[in-house]
Structures are given as C-alpha cells and as structure tokens.
Amino acid sequence: MANLGIPRNTIEILQKYKFNFQKKYGQNFLIDTSVLERIVAAAEITKEDCILEIGPGIGTMTQYLAEAAGQVIAVEIDKALIPILGETLAAYTNVTVINADVLKLDLKQLAEEKNGGRPIKVVANLPYYVTTPIIMSLFESGVPLESITIMVQKEVAERMQVGPGTKDYGALSLAVQFYAKPEIVANVPPNCFIPRPTVGSAVIRLTRHPKPPVEVRDAEYMFALIRASFNQRRKTLSNGLSNAPELGLSREKVAQALETMGLSATVRGETLTLEQFAKLSNLLR
C-alpha cells in the first residue's frame, strides 16, 4: 500500500472515497513522514509491543505502527473511515480495527484479551476537543499502560509539563504528573496536516510512573481538592475550597491545615506542588 505520509497519496484516497472531514470529530490527518517517524521513535516501539491507537483516521500512522509493533489495535469513531482503513491496512495481518468511541470501550478488558493483561503503549494523533477526557480515562481506567505518546495542541502539551506558579499550571498538569513523567518530544507546525489546523501541535510522551511520586491516602479526594482550587484561580485556597459544596470544608479547617503545613492562609492553589496537595489532602481527609 502507498505510504499515506506522502500528501498526494492521502489526497488520492480521500478523493477515491469522496471523504468529507467531520468537524465534530476534529479530524486533521498527518501528512509528514518525518513527524510520523519521530512519533514511532519516541514511543520506542518493538515487535514485543501491543499498541492502542486512538483515531487512526485513514491509517497513516497505523501503517508505521504496524511495521514496528507486534500488534496494533486501532479504535476509530467515524464509521465512514472503516472501509478506507480496510483498504489502506489490507497488507497488515497484525492490525485490528474497532469502530467505537474509545471513551465507551472497556480498555482494561481489551488489553486483557489482546495482550494477556501486559502493559500496552498508546500512540495517537488525538482530536483536540477530547484530549483531556481521553488521557484521564486512560490513567483512571486501570488499563495496564507503559506509556502514552500523543500529538496534541501545543499549549495543552505545555500545560501537562509545567510546574507551580506559571499561568498554564492547573488540574491537568497535576493529574498528568501524578500518573506519569511528561516530556515534549517534537513541535509540529499546522502545515503538517490536512486540513491545516489553526494552532500548532506537539508530540508529548507520558511515561507511566511505576508508583505515584507522592503518598496520598485518597487520590480521588486529592483531585477533588485540586479541581476546586483551580476552579476559582483568583481566590485564595481557603476561599476556593470552602466555597466548593462537594467538599463540605469550613474556611477554618482549611486555614488550620495550611498552618500545619507552614503555609499562609492567603496562599493560592496555583503555588502548591503535587506533594503539597497530597499532604493537604491527607490532613483534610
């Protein structure tokens, strides 16, 4: 099959199937062989690996993954792409295409069936509108994961790896860093896609921690605290947390916990590290 990383091959197949891009699925197909090679290299894929690809599109990256990996499970939501994938991936016996919404799939069971419960690697050019829900569901679903190597909007990639005190630091930064070590491996300009997105993209690799870097008694409760403290960024942490009805905390209780930690009662959530949030969560719980 023709290499779809070459623009004319992509255009040819899209015309053959009279394919219409669906805005609701955020479809932007990669047409740059060097970026595709960078992604596969960053994911460190071997013949031992089982890869989950989310949103294969017309199969551009799937071809590269199938060459490098033992097996590939490609989950595509748009049923109009399924016949195209049937053609573009016909030469590969190690690819399974599933027409489904990845957020509604039991990925843990899928990993069990396809890879005997051993850790899988996720590689994807993610639709920007569902980046955060997909990443969080991968981490929280209990699916055995080694790493996630994904193309996302550049500013989202930056948000995942920044630390306290920066304007991009927030609930996403803390959640990603609790589960994995983030590292941006490539910046990708809009002209590497068809159709061209309006924003720049980046490839980020999230390497799963063997165990979380902080000791926290109840991670779910800690994330509820984190969300509440960033929901009202301009407010002090005591105000933000005591205003969150789901937490049922008084301002006094929060101030007392902060004092125990040697922090001022007027501190803002955006200045706390993951370790401090874990400590605060353990005190308040």
Q: What is the CATH number of the domain that holds 266?
A: 1.10.8.100
Separation between Cα atoms, residue 147 and residue 73, nearest integer Å? 15
38 CB-side CA count, 13 A: 18
Q: Specify whether the CB–CB gap between 138 and 112 falls below 8 A.
A: no
Q: Tell me, what's the pLDDT at 257?
A: 96
Q: How far is CA 21 from CA 25, 26, 74, 126, 169, in A?
A: 8, 8, 19, 15, 33
- How much is the average pLDDT of 263-285? 95
Q: Which string of b and e fits 16-26 if b means at least 16 CB within 10 Å?
A: eeebeeeeebb
Per the prediction, the chain carries an average pLDDT of 95
Residues 61 and 190 in one domain: yes
Q: Tell me, what's the pLDDT at 129?
A: 84
Q: How many domains does the chain have?
A: 2
| Strand duo 201-208 + 180-188: pairing | antiparallel
Q: Tell me, what's the pLDDT at 265?
A: 86
**Residue 214 forms part of a structural domain:** no
Residues 50 and 187 in one domain: yes
Residues 79 and 204 in one domain: yes
Band the pLDDT of 233: cuts 50, 70, 90.
confident
- How much is the average pLDDT of 190-210? 96
**Residue 257 forms part of a structural domain:** yes
Provide the residue range defining the domain that includes 239. 219-284
Residues 233 and 202 in one domain: no
**Residue 2 forms part of a structural domain:** no
Residues 228 and 185 in one domain: no
CB count in 10 Å sphere of residue 219 = 16
Q: Which residue has the tokens 């399924």?
A: 82
Q: Tell me, what's the pLDDT at 90?
A: 97
The CATH number linked to 102 is 3.40.50.150
Residues 85 and 146 in one domain: yes
Q: Tell me, what's the pLDDT at 127?
A: 83
**Residue 69 forms part of a structural domain:** yes
Separation between Cα atoms, residue 168 and residue 150, nearest integer Å? 19
Residues 90 and 200 in one domain: yes
Q: Give the domain-ending residue among 208, 232, 263.
A: 208
Separation between Cα atoms, residue 157 and residue 34, nearest integer Å? 20
How large a percentage of the chain has pLDDT more than 90?
A: 89
Separation between Cα atoms, residue 178 and residue 270, nearest integer Å? 16
Residues 51 and 87 in one domain: yes
Residue 74: is its pLDDT beyond 90? Answer: yes
Band the pLDDT of 182: cuts 50, 70, 90.
very high
- How much is the average pLDDT of 24-29? 90
Residues 171 and 231 in one domain: no
Lowest mean pLDDT among 81-90, 125-134, 221-230, 254-263: 125-134
Q: Tell me, what's the pLDDT at 1?
A: 73
Q: What pairs with residue 181 in β-bridges?
A: 207
- How much is the average pLDDT of 170-197? 96
Separation between Cα atoms, residue 285 and residue 275, nearest integer Å? 15
Residues 237 and 204 in one domain: no
265 CB-side CA count, 13 A: 9
- Tokens representing residue 220 in the block: 């779910």
Q: Give the domain-ending residue among 167, 184, 208.
A: 208
**Residue 213 forms part of a structural domain:** no
Residues 191 and 91 in one domain: yes
Burial of 168 (0-12, 13-18, 19+ CB in 10 A): middle
Q: Tell me, what's the pLDDT at 24?
A: 85
pTM, full prediction: 0.93
SS3 of 270, please? helix
Q: Give the domain-ending residue among 176, 208, 240.
A: 208
CA-CA-CA-CA dihedral for 246, 101, 162, 196, to nearest 10 = -130
Tell me: cis bond preceding 195? Omega within 30 of 0 counts.
yes
